[in-house]
Chain A
Amino acid sequence: MEVNHINAGYESENGYISVLKDVSLTVNRDIILGIAGESGSGKSTLAAVLYNSFRYPGTIRSGEVIFDGKNLLKMKPNELRKLRGTEISFIPQAAMNALNPVKKIRLQFYDMMIAHNIKENDFDSKISSSLELVRLQENVLDNFPHELSGGMRQRVVIAMSLLLSPKFIILDEPTTGLDVMVEHDILLDIKKIQRTLGLTIVFISHDLPILFGISDAIVMMYGGEIVESGDYEDLLRNPAHPYTYQLLKSIPLIGTKIDSSMIMKGIAIDFNHIPHGCYFHPRCNFAVPKCSDIHPELKQTDGKTHLYRCNRYPEWSRNAKLEAIGT
């Protein structure tokens, strides 16, 4: 999948509010691409755009989403319907709470297959194979959603999205609201399914620890634009944007003690008052006067895949390293 120059935002009483600003990215086959960002970074907007499910008051001003050579945003409704579920599927935020509460799980599976004209003979075999993937027993089929725990419901939702064997899955905050152990198990399963079936997954989350744990490549979003992208290991070991660096530093870890240098100053960006110059400069520990003037372009590091949007790289990074040695 290729995303080119997306500009999207929301209509409001005070006119159009721009959220995504010229977002372009390429999703390679057979990997997990993590999209990271805090609330208000535009990551959920991006997810909805990728699946062409962005609805009023959201509006897409320009750009294209190319999937298998076709532009998803220009597709006719019935073409899109055919594609969804079979080629590409989307698990929105809190989908596990959006299961139909008055229908047994089995019927909800059936509904989905009827909508896609699957032969009735294949129903049970398809259901059991997708349940097996998420390690659920078949007896959950005869339960109502409220009879299942949060983790099981999330598994049901994942199984549903796998039902018609799509090759491309978008997961928006799939483990938010689940507790750590269940979260861990589900992440392990997602990874295993991805590897065995050769799926391409776009994994969107604000939770950096799990995102870095699971993704092969990572896109960092801030203020509706991509500030850094590349291989997960590059970003983890050698962040080129101070936002990535400061965010990684602020992650609480077992065994460390709290320290005020971990605090990221300032508050998340407000789309009504976007700062001049680099969007991140008010919160940046390495900002210099020019950062409030010049809005940096996306540049390449020495490595081919690692992109960043910063005026002061690699200068700041050297300073940070020196500081770390100093203390």
Chain B
Amino acid sequence: MSILRTENLSKTFISRHGIIAAEKTEALKDINIRLEEKELIGIVGASGSGKSTLAKLLVFLYRPTGGKIYYMDEDITKYRGKDVKKYRKKIQMVFQDPYASLDPNHSVEWHIKRPLILSRYNGDLDNRIDELLDMVTLNKSYRAKFPHQLSGGQRQRVYLARTLAVSPEVLIADEPVSMLDVSVRIEILTLLQRIKEQLGISIIYITHDLNTVSMITSRLYVMHQGMVVENGDTDSIINRPSNEYTRKLIAAAPNPYKRI
């Protein structure tokens, strides 16, 4: 049984110009992906491929215009109100920009405490906060800090602790390292891997960067213009890409040893 699965998922945006005239943009066309339990999969695509739209659909920030989403084989596409809230406890999202995803007016402690309170955590809040900070390799002294006192990598780790406080089953990471310095990227990626292994959380890692995705994922979906153009085992896609677009993506992946 897959933990999360989509069936012909589609999304069409309608932008209105005035009352009658409207423009339709098909952002996603018939997406079929599946995430098994305790699995780390990757979705790769350039900007405009619809990968961020897919992420927002999976956490109900958008509504699909077609197709279905299954969570534990239950059709959740039509969920409203309370059901959505319940479902969101199971699935959390990490945003791309760690400079925008933390509220500048609140401390690190607040960011982790709120989800604990909202999910009615029974144990000792203080201990749990320290535990979560420890999980993301930050020590207690960070509790009182505010986002502007942290570096990009530290912010992203605080954000990970915030999502883990909800104790989700699925984590959707939308470009979690693309805004970070090269030297901290690996750190966040190893953290994702550890979250998967130690907490048994399934992770969808969404990115435009084939380099990082090839390092940590087991399976890969390549998206182009709102469609999945190739999917399968990560290593075999990297070594033997069957699709023309995938080949181009691999060729364009930055590499210091390759002259431009």
Contact = CB atoms under 8 A, between A and B. Distances in A.
- Complex A–B touching at CB under 8 A: yes
B209 interface: yes
Contacts of B19: none
A121 interface: no
Interface stretch (A18-26, A175-183, A287-295): A175-183
Given A246-B183, A250-B186, A252-B189, A181 B248 contact: yes
B208 interface: yes
Contacts of A208: 182, 256
Interface string B228-260: 000000000011000000001111111111111
B210 interface: yes
A241 interface: no
Interface stretch (A155-163, A164-172, A254-262): A254-262
A207 B239 CA distance: 25
B190 interface: yes
B88 interface: no
Contact of A213 (B189, B238, B239, B254): B254
Contact of A180 (B189, B249, B259): B249
A252 B212 contact: yes
Contacts of B239: 255
Contact of B187 (A181, A251, A263): A263
Contact of B47 (A179, A209, A252): A179
Interface string A214-237: 100000000000000000000010
A255 B183 contact: no
B53 interface: no
Given A252-B185, A258-B193, A268 B151 contact: yes
Interface stretch (A4-12, A184-192, A315-323): A184-192
A206 to B, nearest CB: 6
A170 B153 CA distance: 28
Contacts of B215: 252-253, 256-258
Measured as residues with beta carbon below 8 angstroms from the partner, the interface class of chain B is 35 or more
Contacts of A275: none
A324 interface: no
B226 to A, nearest CB: 15
Interface in B145-162: 151-154
A250 B48 CA distance: 28
Interface in B194-209: 208-209
Contacts of A75: none
Contacts of A188: 260
B190 A263 contact: yes
B7 interface: no
Contacts of A260: 190
B75 interface: no
B107 interface: no
A267 B153 contact: yes
A150 B184 CA distance: 26
A207 B254 contact: yes
A38 interface: yes
14 contacts: A39-B151, A179-B208, A180-B249, A181-B248, A183-B252, A191-B260, A211-B256, A213-B255, A213-B260, A251-B256, A256-B215, A257-B215, A263-B187, A268-B181
Q: A-B pairs with the 5 shortest C-beta distances? A: A209-B254, A212-B256, A184-B252, A264-B183, A179-B46
Interface of A: 38-39, 149-150, 178-184, 187-188, 191, 206-214, 236, 246-248, 250-258, 260, 262-264, 267-268
